[in-house]
Structures are given as C-alpha cells and as structure tokens.
Structure 1
C-alpha cells in the first residue's frame, strides 16, 4: 500500500465568483439515469517539474481561470422535493458557486516505475491517487461536481480528476483539461471556443423532470401519475 500524505485540500472557485446570472441547467431523462453511477475518473502522469516553478500555485491559479470558462464544473447539483406529488427534481445551479476541490498529496515512497508494471497490470494502491473514489453522481448535492488531485512521486507527478456525469461527458472534460493546460502554460487560452449550453429536451417534454425513487433508482413520473390539486 502506498503511503499517501495529503498536504492540502481546498476549494478553487472561478475568477469571478458571482455566477448568479447563469441560467440553471435542467436535467434530461437520460441524465437522470446516471444518478447512481460513480464519478468517472481519469489521470495523467508527468515528469516531476522543477520546484522553483511553484507548479501547485500555478495549477490552482490557472484552474480558477479555466473554471470561469467552464463554469458548470463550479456549480452544484440541487435536489428539489415536490411535496404536492411526492416526487423530486434535479438541476445544476450556479448561485454561490462552490468551485472545484483541489487536493495536493505526496507519495514519497512511490516512483513512476511502481506504476508502470511490465505486465500491464494496475497496482491496488493506484486508487489512492484519485479524488472521487466511490462518489456517485447523486452525491453532487453535497460534493463538488469536479475534484482534482495532484500527487507528487519521487520522480513524477500524477494529476487525476473525477467529475459528475450530470454536468459533462468525456469530450467536454478533455476540452476543459486542454484549456486548463494552455492557461497554466501560457497564462491564457485565446483560441478556446465559447461554452454553449443547449437544451436537449424533445418537443413536448416539459421540465423540470419529476421523478420517483424505485429500487434504488429514479424513474421519470408520467404526467398521468401526478396528482394535481
């Protein structure tokens, strides 16, 4: 088992922390099917940088700027209890944006060689280098929608992240990571594409979607099932 020591854990907010003007994101039926799935987690391995670069500080500062562009990652999942028909609704909100969790850790006994096994196997302690183990999408009501962990090894650095699937898919996450990398390297990313959010509700489908919980899953409530006063 790798001896991982957490140096710090903090919340990084967007450069402009006032996101109250952003429109909330209503979740589609396809989104709601993912509520009880774990956060997807990914990571990248890098050579160990020169300590003089103060790379942890640079990563956090550039992350704040990147979150200004990809602001949904700084939002929160909100659950609404509809008492009139005993259903619940979910949406992503940006009032008082929580920001992303940033964890800085050190594993002094681990080297890159320990991770790159010759037979291609993954060591059991590898999960210690990820920030969102066993976190489910529905946990986004109390946990950040994006978490990152930077773990320093003897001769390398592993940057990992876990994200809520309610807020992004894999393509969007890698676009975010690419933009963050450019900002960290150059101080800005002038060629990034503006973030465009579009509703994906079919015509005739009203929102917010009201759901009921059944056998550990949420299912959409049909209009005929809603008791109207």
Structure 2
C-alpha cells in the first residue's frame, strides 16, 4: 500500500439547535471532548501515534519498513477548521462537491509519506449548520476493517464520557489485536527488493472525474438478489454479489466499449474470517486482498444478471484459507507495490469498503450522522466505494467515472430505476 493514498472517510453531523451565544461554547466543548476521547482511543490503537521508518543495509542487502511506536513520536494530528458552507451545499448537488476534499488533512499524501507525516490526522470542520469529522489514516497501518474498528472505539469512549479523567484507563468493549501474523516460514521482517523508495513510489494525479453517490434501498437489493438467483437457478448469490454484478454490467454498458474488450469486476475482500484458524475481526492491520473475475464485454452484456452475479460469487467463495496463503506466498516471493495509475484499468470496476462496517453507529454528542463521505484519496475511473446506508439494510455506492460514462449511466433506465 506504500504508493496508495491514506484512507479518508468522515461523518457529517447536524449542529444541535442552540442560541447563537451558545454556539461558541458548544464547539469549544466538542473539540475538547473529541481530543480527550481521541487520546484515550490512541492508548489502545498506539501504532497510529507512530511513524514509518525504513531500515537499509548493504551487507547483507536488506530493505525493510516498520512502524516506530516509541515515545519520541509527534503523535496523531488534530485540526479544527471552518467552512462557509451549509449541509445543503454538501448534500444537494448531484455530484460530490469539490469542497468535501478540503474536509480532510493529508490530501494526496502517499502512505510512504508516513515517514515524515502523521499516520493519523483528524480534521473537525465546522460548517454553518453542521460539523464534519474527517479521518485520514495511513493505509500501510490498517485496512477498512481496522479504520472503522478504530472509529467505533473512539465513538464508544466519547459516549462513555470516561475520558474526562485523563489519568483513568477507559475500558472498551473490544480490544484491538496487534500481534502480527505471517505465513509460516516468513517474517518479520519482510525484505523488500528495493534500494530506494523512488523505485516503488509514484505520485498519482487523477484526471477530471465525476464522483456521485447512488442509494439502493433494502427492498430493491432484495429484489435484485432474487432476480439473480432465479436467473441462474440457484440460492447461492448474496445481496452484495448481485448488486456488484448489476453495477458492473451497467457501467460497462455506459462506457460503450468494444465487444472484444476484456473487463473485470474486482472486489476488496477481508481475509480475517477466511483464515484457518480465522484472524480476529479486531486484528489491526492489513488483512485484505483484491480478487477479480474477468470476461469480455460481449459475454458480460449478452448474458443476464444471474450469470454475472454467479461469476462474482465463485471468485468470492473460492477465496479460502488455501487461496489466501497462496497469494501471500506469491507476494512475499515477488513483492509488488500497488500503483494507482497502473493496477486499476479503465475498463473494469473495483468495489472497495463495505456496507457491513458500522458507520452510522458512531456518535459524538450530536446524534446520528446524516452522511458518510470520502476525500480525494484512491479514486480512479471505475472506483466503487460501498457504504452502509442511512436506513436499515440500504446501501450507498459512491461511483467514480469519466464524465461521458457517468452521463450515459444516468441515462440507463435499468440502472436509474433502481436508485
């Protein structure tokens, strides 16, 4: 993940209804309580207070990157900012407005920048009628599961109000698991085949995309699942597999690609429950792979939804303990570093994040969040970020596409009738 961006996700809240005279007191108390509860959370998630260090030797040759968690680190960053924008300014436009990118610190930073930049930065942006809490976390330190586990525990500590006593150790419901897991016979450390970071770090400048959220209700997702299973005469296809296949087909059609063009549906997949024995869900680190199913445009569009969804199902089901260890062994024998401009082609979609993450359960004294948003980070043509929907069982998908493809998708009746 060294050449990828930080994970950037955040929550938008409505300001409580208070008199103008009390607004300043509210913000001051909120900032104080957020900082105090964050300090307690970092007691448990201590790697986020560290920084990256590279250790090199010439005889024998070695190149390793590790996290320095010693006490001489500057720690995590906390920023307070203001914006002359309203909640309506953020949520009313069809596309995600560019101002949202300014709600996150460490914009466009690569994870390798964690050698000199903090591994975690929280930015609290006060809007005219709302508050946005944006979190930028180094992707070398953790994946989406780790990110939301941290966010959930921070919220839990905030709601307990035990953080008010700085000398008290706040008890939490789920301890993060920091023990490192490596395949038998490997690491730590893992020796990387490099001599300098310039060999594997590239700065990615995205073209002008359109970035838009699409909302799918629980009822529609259930009908999509039923349709896919009926078309393939099976009961194995899950709701999310059917939704992913549906988006894959619709986006491919919108792109108007040649029939013989190869296209794939890639999915970020959590390895924790797939291991034998399974890693705990609280394993704090990166335990994620990207699996892919490939076909031609002609085959994908001539066959029905059930056919495509079953292809997605097979690649997910087959990603078991044996496959995880095989992929890890291949990477350890020949490490690669993901490059945004190379490893994600413009003829495919990549589905990341997960609607299973507890996003709307995070509260910081302002009630339930009204939206989950992301920053500039890791967006490319065909990126599909999945989010827990505001209503129970619903799913929000944030699609990043080239303008012409997005315009065509918005004219696709099969797709738009569903959202």
> Would you call these one fold, judging by a TM-score over 0.5?
yes
Counterparts of 1:59 and 1:125 in 2: how far apart (Å)? 23
The aligned counterpart of 1:157 is 131
The aligned counterpart of 1:47 is 14
Contact 1:86/1:212, CA 8 A, preserved across alignment: no
Larger radius of gyration: 2
| 2:189 equivalent among 205, 208, 216 | 208
Superposition pairs for residues 47-196 of structure 1, below 5 Å? Answer: 47-49=14-16, 50-53=23-26, 54-96=29-71, 97-107=73-83, 109-119=84-94, 121-188=95-162, 190-196=171-177
After superposition, give the CA deviation of every residue in 1:25-56 in whole Å (9 maximum; x if it has no partner): xxxxxxxxx11111110010011245434111
Counterparts of 2:145 and 2:111 in 1: how far apart (Å)? 18
TM-score (structure 2 length as normaliser): 0.42
- Say if 1:85 and 1:126 are closer, same or farther in 2 by CA, change over 3 A: same
Deviation at 1:113, TM superposition (A): 0.6
Contact 1:82/1:89, CA 8 A, preserved across alignment: no
The aligned counterpart of 2:250 is none
Counterparts of 2:32 and 2:177 in 1: how far apart (Å)? 29
Counterparts of 1:191 and 1:166 in 2: how far apart (Å)? 25
Deviation at 1:67, TM superposition (A): 0.5
Counterparts of 1:186 and 1:38 in 2: how far apart (Å)? 32
Deviation at 1:184, TM superposition (A): 1.8
Counterparts of 2:136 and 2:114 in 1: how far apart (Å)? 12
| 1:198 equivalent among 138, 155, 179 | 179
Counterparts of 2:182 and 2:74 in 1: how far apart (Å)? 27
Contact 1:210/1:221, CA 8 A, preserved across alignment: no
1:217 aligns with 2:200: yes
Contact 2:114/2:138, CA 8 A, preserved across alignment: yes
Secondary structure of 1:60 counterpart: helix
After superposition, give the CA deviation of every residue in 1:123-177 in whole Å (9 maximum; x if it has no partner): 1222111112111111111111111100001000011011111211111211211
Task: Note the aligned Cα RMSD (angstroms).
Answer: 2.2
The aligned counterpart of 1:27 is none
Counterparts of 2:138 and 2:68 in 1: how far apart (Å)? 14
Counterparts of 1:184 and 1:148 in 2: how far apart (Å)? 15
Secondary structure of 1:212 counterpart: coil
Counterparts of 1:94 and 1:47 in 2: how far apart (Å)? 36
Contact 1:212/1:220, CA 8 A, preserved across alignment: no
Deviation at 1:207, TM superposition (A): 2.8
Contact 2:79/2:124, CA 8 A, preserved across alignment: yes
Secondary structure of 1:199 counterpart: coil
Counterparts of 2:115 and 2:93 in 1: how far apart (Å)? 41
| Matched pairs, number | 187
Secondary structure of 1:63 counterpart: helix
Secondary structure of 2:113 counterpart: helix
Report which of the two has the higher share of helix. 2
After superposition, give the CA deviation of every residue in 1:76-106 in whole Å (9 maximum; x if it has no partner): 1111121324542111121124321111001
- Say if 1:202 and 1:220 are closer, same or farther in 2 by CA, change over 3 A: closer
